[in-house]
Amino acid sequence: MARLPQPGRDAEDWGRLLNTFLRVEHNDDGTLKIRHDKTLAQAGGGPGNAATKTVGLQSSDVDYACDGVADDAEINAAVTAVHAVGGGTVFIKAGTYNIRSQIRPKSNVHIKGEGMFSTRLAADPALRAGIIDNYFDSTVTNPTIGFMLSDIELDGSGFSRTSGQYYKGVNSRNWQYCKMYNIYCHDCTATGLGADNFDACTIDRCLVVRNGTAGKVPGHNGIGIASGGMPKESLVVSNCITIQNANNGYLIEADTSVTGANALYLFENNIAVQDGQSGFCNSGTPNVSFIGNSVYGCSGSGIRNILYAVHQATNTLVENNTIVAAGSYGIYQNTAQNNFIIAGNRVYDGLAEGMKITGSHGSVINNQVHDNGRLGIVIGADNGGTAVSDIVVANNVVYNNGKRVPGEDGIHLRASAAPLSNITVTGNRCFDSQTTPTQRYGIFLPVAGTMSNILIANNNLVGNKLGAILKQNTANSISIVGNFGINPDCMSMQGNVTGATTFSRINGSLIVATLVGDTLVSLAPAVAGGDTLTLQLQQDSTGNRKVTWPSNFKKAGGSLVLSTAPNAIDSITMRWNGAHWIEISRTLQMG
């Protein structure tokens, strides 16, 4: 943060600062008149940044008058003049300006229109560059510093569609301390706002519509950023809206260089609507955060972090976003894109999986995933992918998925393509509340592949189409404990029993019942090996009620006769070994 001049010490700096916002003039009688200069204050520059040049269409009250033909000449002349005196503002009045050759940004210059729907820079069919373009002027060692572009329309509808070349609204690279805001950019043949390598820059409150050419990749996005070309980088893209751009609404991709460790990129409070691929795509850039964005109706994924060449989209945060009606995955964390947090998002009404996680070392927490066409959340590698490990899936609400493809589940652990290990699934609520349910199981562990150190604990899985959990994988190191709908750690009061009676671990780890007649017991198999079940059985006031045990109950010493005295209480604890209930303790005649 810049240091303010110190009173009594930096008089010269204070003078320059005051001159930025105050104008000193002489009255006719020789006295001084000091007034606030609003135009200079809006220039946004630092000390000494006081120049203002006005551009308009055939007007006598401007510094540079345009005639509607090749108006870039006058605009560039104004930019050069302001830059030459240390910086300031080029103010372009309302109207439509013909741009035949690109407008070249320069350091410490603010190109400012009269409004994003009032001052219109329109590409001429002869233009063979971006409307705003200094891509070849700005280098890493000599970056563009302190440039601003605001309150203006960039109209690419006039670009030639037959040249086989494609051009942007903004085409730049190597910017430092720069800002773009209040820009309406539309109908360019390539990316709308395109920039490579930003250090301490912002893009804010821009409307970016119908840019790019269908079928052309890469590029052709709404807002497209390349990262990694500068020694240090940081960028905030906020409060923007992209609509119906050819590929991604927002793209950040790795440059050929390796992004520095102190690079940070934030996309916050933006909206993407019906863009041709993803709403937001991170292609190989680390340290990217997507926070509080909304995506509706994109053709591909809502938000995705993917590999680009050798570059990995690691250390990413996807938080509090809303993704509706994605054509593919709502959120996609690609193979080997590790060290991630996906938290607090809402993903619904998509055509495929709500979330697909094929990276490692991450957490998927507090999300709401519902009414998607296929699986709710899937964890595990695709074909050709690497092993997936060390992921926590916790406190998500996952419901009513599988609406397009029958037989899909809430949370799916996949090891068929590569091993899956050290996965914790806990505290989730998975269910189906539809009149005709489509979400098959709350959690599914298919038979194929190697799973190890898998913990499924304390989830609420009541109310799915076929059941709480389908566990097909037979690995020994899968622990399923304390889940409602399969094996909750709770007490279940079964009341008075007599005749044929079934006790099921699905109801609780402790089942309490009163014998009011002779009882033929059935013990339902447990789903999870190692589950324990305690039966607390009490004789009624008559007593002498006899119990017949099932063949899948292996009793200590080969027999078990309960107490027969009136109101006597017996407690029997058993453990499921995958085929039988094995008695591990008994306490008789407790009452």
HSE at residue 351, side-chain half, CA atoms within 13 A, is 10
Q: Which amino acid is located at 324 in the chain?
A: V
Q: What pLDDT is recorded for position 9? A: 44
Query: CA 353, CA 371: separation in Å to the nearest integer?
Result: 10
Quick one: residue 190, left, alpha or beta (phi over 0 = left, psi -120 to 50 = alpha)?
A: beta
Strands 510-523 and 547-548: parallel
Give percent helix, percent strand, percent coil of the chain, each to the nearest 5: 5, 45, 50
Query: CA 470, CA 241: separation in Å to the nearest integer?
Result: 43
Query: CA 296, CA 319: separation in Å to the nearest integer?
Result: 16
Quick one: residue 466, left, alpha or beta (phi over 0 = left, psi -120 to 50 = alpha)?
A: alpha
Query: CA 128, CA 167: separation in Å to the nearest integer?
Result: 7
Q: Please list the pLDDT of the chain residue by residue as tens digits (591 residues).
A: 344 444 444 444 434 444 443 444 445 555 444 444 433 333 333 333 459 999 999 877 899 999 999 999 999 999 999 999 999 999 999 999 999 999 999 999 999 999 999 999 999 999 999 999 999 999 999 999 999 999 999 999 999 988 788 999 999 999 999 999 999 999 999 999 998 999 999 999 999 999 999 988 889 999 999 998 888 899 999 999 999 999 999 999 987 665 566 789 999 999 999 999 999 999 999 999 999 999 999 999 999 999 887 888 899 999 999 999 999 999 999 998 999 999 999 999 999 999 999 999 999 999 999 999 999 999 999 988 899 999 999 999 999 999 999 889 999 999 999 999 999 999 999 999 999 999 999 999 999 999 999 999 999 999 999 999 999 998 889 999 999 999 999 999 999 999 999 999 999 999 999 999 999 999 999 988 889 999 999 999 999 999 999 999 999 999 999 999 999 999 999 999 989 999 999 999 886
Collapsed DSSP state (helix, strand, coil) of residue 58: coil
Strands 32-36 and 22-26: antiparallel
What phi and psi values does residue 20 have, to the nearest 5 degrees?
A: -70, -30
Q: What is the pLDDT of residues 326-352, one digit of tens each?
A: 999 999 999 989 999 999 999 999 999
Residues 6 or more apart whose Cβ sits within 8 Å of residue 333: 304, 305, 316, 318, 340, 342, 355, 356, 357, 358, 359, 362
Alpha helices in 43-138 (DSSP H): 72-84
Q: What pLDDT is recorded for position 195? A: 87
What six digits make up the tokens of 129?
């560059």
Q: Contacts from 486-491 at CB under 8 Å and sequence distance 24+?
A: 486/461, 486/527, 486/528, 487/526, 487/527, 487/528, 487/531
What phi and psi values does residue 136 have, to the nearest 5 degrees?
A: -95, 0
Residues 6 or more apart whose Cβ sits within 8 Å of residue 376: 353, 354, 355, 369, 370, 398, 399, 401, 408, 409, 410, 411, 412, 430, 439
Q: What is the pTM of this model?
A: 0.88
What six digits make up the tokens of 245?
């751009």
Buried/exposed 245-257: b ≥16 CB within 10 Å, e otherwise: bbbbbbbbbbbee
What phi and psi values does residue 107 have, to the nearest 5 degrees?
A: -60, 145
Query: CA 508, CA 486: separation in Å to the nearest integer?
Result: 8
Q: What is the DSSP string of 480-510?
A: EES-BTT--SSEEEEEEEEEEEEE-GGG-SE
Residues 6 or more apart whose Cβ sits within 8 Å of residue 344: 319, 320, 365, 366, 367
Residue bearing tokens 């700005």: 138
Distances in Å between the Cα of 154 and the Cα atoms of 53, 174, 305, 394, 580 are: 20, 21, 30, 45, 74
Q: What pLDDT is recorded for position 270? A: 98
